Amino acid sequence: MADPAASFTAAAEAAQAAAGIIAARSRGDLASADTLLDGLSDAQKAAGFLLLADLAIAILASYEDRPAGAVAAELSLQIAAHTPLNGE
């Protein structure tokens, strides 16, 4: 069984990389974003972006004084509303 502290540390490092990828993309530096993304395994991408999303939702929920589940549900609905159905 994996050491929980080591697992969290690895996820936290991957979340920092995920935040760096988003920061690079937001400033238009797609080459750096791709380089950072290519440096992560699929497992690191999953753990990093999941932890980053959890933290971002928790911060937004705290800021809005709402449950994190309600914020996540609203984000899901907003994504669905902007996602074309059947490839349209």
Q: How many independent structural domains does the chain possess? A: 1
Query: What confidence score (pLDDT) does residue 88 get?
Result: 54
Tell me the pLDDT of the chain (88 aa) as tens digits. 678 899 999 999 999 999 999 999 999 999 999 999 999 999 999 999 999 999 999 999 999 999 999 999 999 999 999 887 655 5
Residue 27 lies in domain: 4-87
Compute the distance between CA of residue 66 and CA of residue 52 in angstroms, rounded to an integer.
19
Q: What is the 3-state secondary structure (H, E, C) of the chain?
A: CCCHHHHHHHHHHHHHHHHHHHHHHHCCCHHHHHHHHHCCCHHHHHHHHHHHHHHHHHHHHHHHCCCHHHHHHHHHHHHHHCCCHHHC
**pLDDT tens-digit series, residues 17-27:** 999 999 999 99
Rounded Cα distance between 49 and 16, Å, is 9
Q: How far apart are CA 32 and CA 34, in angstroms?
A: 5
Cβ pair 17, 39 in contact under 8 A: yes
